Each structure stands twice: as C-alpha cells, then as structure tokens.
Structure 1
C-alpha cells in the first residue's frame, strides 16, 4: 500500500512528507521510503503558529481559519510531492500540535493538533487518517510519545539493547531490550526526555534578532563552554525527575522558560556562545540523565533521529555523557532520520485501516491498547 505520512513537529520548521510503500501485518512490516521532502511553512503562518504555541489567545473564528490554513498547506505538500505516475492509497497526517497538556491527577490530558484531516482528504481526493493522539488520551494516556510502537516495528534487535532517541523540538526516547530477553516486550519503555532543539533555536533567534533560526551543525555552540553548574541547577526542574510515562512540549519549554535560562546565564557572565553551549548541554544531559534514572542498564546503542541528529556538536556532547553506548544515526540502519516521524504516521495510518492498535500502554500510560486516528473518506 502506498501511503503519504505528514508530520510537523514542535520546531515548526515545516511539513515533512514521506511517500512509503508498506506491506505486511502488525509489527512485521516491510517499509520502503520512496520519496521524502520538507515543505517550509509560509513565514506568516509559521509565526502565527509559534505565537499560538506561546499562548496567544484566539477567537473561534481565528482558530478555524488557522486550522484550515494548516490543513491547506498539508494538502499542498501532498499534491506537490506525488509523482505523476504514482497512485497514493492513503494519507496519515499528524497535523501541527499547538497545545499539549499531560494528564493530571484524576483528570484526562488534552492535546490539540491543527490541520483538519477532513479538509486534507477533500483537497487531495485521498482518504486521510489524522488526529492520532486523542484515543490514547481518552484512555488516560499521555497521547505521547506515539512513535514507540513504530520503533519496536523498525528497530528491534535480537542481541542489542537500544534506545531510539528523537531530537526534534522536544526529545523523546524508546528503550528496546534485546528481543531475546525473556518477556522483552513488557520491558519496553518510552518517554519525552525534555527539550531537544527548542530552547537552542529560541536562543539563536533571540541572539540574532531573528536573523538566524537555528545553530547550524552546532558551530556557534562549539565556540563556547558549557556552564555545568547551571546545567545541574536546571536538571533539578520537576519534569526531569518525574518517572515515565511522561510527555511535555512548548507549554513548559517555552519562550518564558528560555528567558529564565538567559537570566541565569547573565548571573554567570556567559557569552552568547557559552549560553548556547550550555543550552545544548541541557539537552544532552537531560537525555543521559533520564537513561541513568529510568533504564536498568546503559543501552548498547543509541539511534538518533530528528534535527538534532544532524548537529555534530550536540552528538559529540551526547557521546561524552554516554561513553558506554554506541551512537548511530537512523540512516545507518536504513531508515531516514530526517523523515522518520513522517514515516511513523504513515505506519499509524496503515495500522488504523488494518484495525491494529497503535499505542503502547506502558509508554503512554493508557489503560489499554487502542486503534489510533480518525478516518476521513475522500468525497471524490
């Protein structure tokens, strides 16, 4: 089956579109990436999304217009990426998260992804599955991370204990014990590790008056020296100590959060490069700290994906924190690190129409497995 997976993450860089061919059943799938491309948001739409993520209030009319605008750009990505001679059977669209609230005591969580699937289906003429997180949340789950079951499908290994570490705006991890470990599937874990690129990106934008959007390859951070005293202080934040299941987003690691970090940096007279190096150190230290806190032993391999996997300075610092683990990029295993999450939502759409549950309750905290997503049939 030919499926297009669509994903825009917490970095709000643009829409990742992946055309994949999927065959098989359940966890035993053959997944081939045929085409992958990223379509940047228009600058005005990206800025509006970021403002909403930062807490800008909207009227219902404004919300509906934003929902439609995002769906229209997702649909345009679909029509732009499909070769003339290819018939696509299905779309799996994550949409754009603008708000995420993990469940509280005696209260369900809430999550909102804009980019309505019914409009994508209408505009493209292709059946579309979207709104994947809400079914898990309705069962008491976090609704995140949802990639963990895909990680089981694509990355399990008979001998190696692996951590699949995505570093997008927010970092998330899946721990996969060796599949020869007794009852290995019951020992799978997953959680959001904390900030990925979000604070680094926000800092670069502030320090350059929005002339730069991110620290390319960590070149600016590499010129500085991380302040370990500050990193240790920041790691005392409650989220890092919280045991999985757990998830987070821009609601916590926000522009306001960054301002407090920058204020702390001034106390230590850090240069701009020192500040970026220290924020990068927070990302890698939070990943490593979570492994030390929550895993039975260091993983044999850490497989990286997402934008952070292309930051050589960040990777060097992560290796320094995880000296006993081998760092790999997902590409090394034949799965695109750039389009991994778009591929994941293509798989979740495939599982939906095949009535196969897409969540892992021990990862999300949901009461049971459930079919994820809402299916919109094309009217064409």
Structure 2
C-alpha cells in the first residue's frame, strides 16, 4: 500500500476512494477515482462506483437515534458498512487495497446545526474512521465539515469544490442542482471565489417520509412519482411551507433534517392525514418551487444567464419531479449531469475522494463564498 503523503509533494496521480451516505440514509456509496494535480490544476477520473443499500430496519435506527448509547453503537456499525463498501469498490475495479492512497469518508450526518439553528454551530457525522482504516488497511480522512465551521462557515455545502474543480467551463456560468434528501445548488465560473452555492431547501426528505407513511413502509420513496401524481397540490399549505424562516435567509445557508425532517413531516401528517396523496403532491411542489425560487431570487439576478442547470441526486430518478422542475425553470435548460460524461449517482462520493486527495496535498478545499467561512482551510482529519 502506498504511504500517505503530506504537503504539496503529495503523489500524483493518486487512487482515492470517497464514501458517504446522504441525508436520505438509503445506502453506502463508494467511488474510486484517480486524482492528479491539486487546486486549480486538479483532475479527477472516475474508475468505479458501487452503492450498497441499507436494510430498512437499519435506516429506521439511524433516523430515530437520539441518545448517546445508540449513536455510539451506530458510529462503529456505520464504520463497518463503509469499510465494506470501500472494499467492494476496490474489488469491482480489479484492484487491491495496497493500490489505494487514501479513503475520504463523509460519513452519515445525524445532526447539522448551523448558526441559524444553534448558538454553538456544530455538526456530527457518524462512521468511525478508525474502523474503516483498520478493516481496509488504508489511511482515512474524515470529518470534513468541522474545520469549515470552526472557521465561521456553515460546514456546507462542500460539493461546490468538485463542481468548480471538475466541471467548470471557461467563459461561462454553469449551475449544478443536487436533489438528495436536501436540495442544493452551485453556480461556478472561471474563478472559485465567484462560486455561489447554498441549500435550496427540501429535496426528497419529505417525499420519502410521506411515502413510508402512506404505504406503511412498502415504499421508501415516491417511486417514479406514482404517489404524488395521484394527488392535488394544496395551495394554502404550499404557501405556508414556502414562508418558513429558512427561505428568508440569504446565502450562504445550509439545511438538514432539523428543518425538513421528522418534525415537519409530523406537522404535515397532522394537517392532512385524511388526504395523503394531496400531501404528497404538495411536498413535491414544495421541493420544485423552493428550488425554482432560489434561482429567481439569488442566481439569475447575479449571473444574468446560465449555460444550463445540471441535475444529480436521487431526485433525478423521479420522472414526475424532474418534469415539473424542468417546466418550472423553462426556458432555462435543465439537463442530467450524465450529459457531461459523469454518472450523477457517483458525484457526491467522488467529491470526498477529491477532498481526501486535497487533504494529503495540504490544499484548502472549502469554498468560503459557499459556506460563509472567514478563510480557506484544509478539510478533514487523518486516521493513519
């Protein structure tokens, strides 16, 4: 196995693995990438990607964990699951752990409390790095969000560094919309300091929760839009949701399960349990409208025009959601990230492969214009 490097002489190219599970807590994602160079000269090539779904009972344990003993056990169990995904992607690529320079593990977010939610901004991701390092024999960089928060940032979003480093196009502005549990966007151009990025609000989080309620756990999501298509939007409820204080915050801003998770789901269910499909239609409209208004309020006034909006995340697999979003943003082109030659399902995991490589190089990889941090900092903590 190659030994970890430090400082600007980090080996190049480096074989790096990125790991994460998103706010939807649906799977452990692993992406194996070849990273060459650093900073503005960095390049990334995706070599392999695997997704290892979590069992429904495990998902429920993560979503309901609220005491120290449960979180303690989940931290190590998630470490085991991430380590297994890392070994799977190595085998899928026909390589050995000895070939890999570093693993970057984002882990599973169980709490994210930016300044808008707490007098002590903080964040917590589980998935013990020592377990991953011990099972794989590969150095692990983890806890990417904490240093940005210590520097005054929101700790999110982190994906804009990948958007700028890998997908920018000279002389034009491109937007990248992710629809995961939480939805977020980034607009990148020639200079990293001009990047605009922030969470737009809910992505699939409310849709997933409602789908589980409506189908009594037979469906974990609004599969192909089959549930939301059956309902009618409740206009008054939609406007009430769009009036939540989060949407009055200017960027940079970040969101999590605290704002758009279980508590909001309970409020919606109390309001409309007798009209479940109308609730689902309203939740989908809430996701679409909050994303669209983010462009109208914060993006287009600043950039004037965009080449296109490139979409990734689990929401891309809901054709009804994608159709509504495309119609709402017209005539602005909405395209899948895959049209740029990169599989959208691997994007977020690949980001943490890149961030781990930049950690080894000693290169700051937060984007202060996106997170609100006072300065650029090197992200992550290394477990040899």
Q: TM-score w.r.t. structure 1 length?
A: 0.91
Distance 2:31 2:204 in 1: 22
Decide whether the 8 Å contact of 1:245 with 1:364 is kept in 2: yes
Mark the runs of 5 or more structure 2 residues left unpaired by the alignment. Answer: 1-13
For 1:323-342, what aligned pairs fall within 5 Å after superposition?
A: 323-342=330-349
Among candidates 255, 261, 266, match of residue 259 of structure 1: 266
Map of 2:277 onto structure 1: 273
1:71 pairs with 2:79: yes
What stretches of structure 1 move > 6 A for 4+ residues in a row?
none
Decide whether the 8 Å contact of 1:298 with 1:324 is kept in 2: no
Among candidates 33, 46, 51, match of residue 20 of structure 1: 33
Decide whether the 8 Å contact of 1:108 with 1:138 is kept in 2: no
Residue deviations 1:66-121, cap 9 Å, x none? Answer: 21111011111112221254422210100010001002599441000011212211
Deviation at 1:159, TM superposition (A): 4.1
Distance 1:373 1:43 in 2: 30
1:318 pairs with 2:325: yes
Decide whether the 8 Å contact of 2:50 with 2:88 is kept in 1: no
Among candidates 193, 203, 213, match of residue 220 of structure 2: 213
Number of equivalent positions? 364
Deviation at 1:319, TM superposition (A): 1.4
Map of 2:291 onto structure 1: 287
Deviation at 1:187, TM superposition (A): 2.8
More helix by share: 2
Report the 3-state secondary structure (helix = DSSP H, G, I; strand = E; otherwise coil) of the residue aligned with 1:214: coil
1:37 pairs with 2:50: yes
Deviation at 1:227, TM superposition (A): 2.8
Residue deviations 1:285-313, cap 9 Å, x none? Answer: 00111111112235331110110012111
Distance 2:231 2:45 in 1: 41
Deviation at 1:42, TM superposition (A): 3.5
Residue deviations 1:132-186, cap 9 Å, x none? Answer: 0000010111000011111111221224322211110001111224x3xxxx544
Report the 3-state secondary structure (helix = DSSP H, G, I; strand = E; otherwise coil) of the residue aligned with 1:252: helix
Map of 1:99 onto structure 2: 111
Report the 3-state secondary structure (helix = DSSP H, G, I; strand = E; otherwise coil) of the residue aligned with 2:259: coil
Map of 1:225 onto structure 2: 232
Map of 1:166 onto structure 2: 178
Q: Cα 1:116–1:330, aligned 2, differ >3 Å: closer, same or farther? A: same
Report the 3-state secondary structure (helix = DSSP H, G, I; strand = E; otherwise coil) of the residue aligned with 1:142: coil
Deviation at 1:24, TM superposition (A): 2.0
Distance 1:123 1:326 in 2: 45
Distance 1:198 1:254 in 2: 6
For 1:331-370, what aligned pairs fall within 5 Å after superposition?
A: 331-370=338-377
Residue deviations 1:228-269, cap 9 Å, x none? Answer: 332222101110111011111011112220122234446xx7
Q: Cα 1:28–1:80, aligned 2, differ >3 Å: closer, same or farther? A: same
1:140 pairs with 2:152: yes
Among candidates 106, 119, 132, match of residue 131 of structure 2: 119
Decide whether the 8 Å contact of 1:169 with 1:196 is kept in 2: yes
Report the 3-state secondary structure (helix = DSSP H, G, I; strand = E; otherwise coil) of the residue aligned with 1:370: coil
Report the 3-state secondary structure (helix = DSSP H, G, I; strand = E; otherwise coil) of the residue aligned with 2:221: coil
Decide whether the 8 Å contact of 1:300 with 1:324 is kept in 2: no
Report the 3-state secondary structure (helix = DSSP H, G, I; strand = E; otherwise coil) of the residue aligned with 1:34: strand
1:307 pairs with 2:311: no
Mark the runs of 5 or more structure 1 residues left unpaired by the alignment. Answer: none
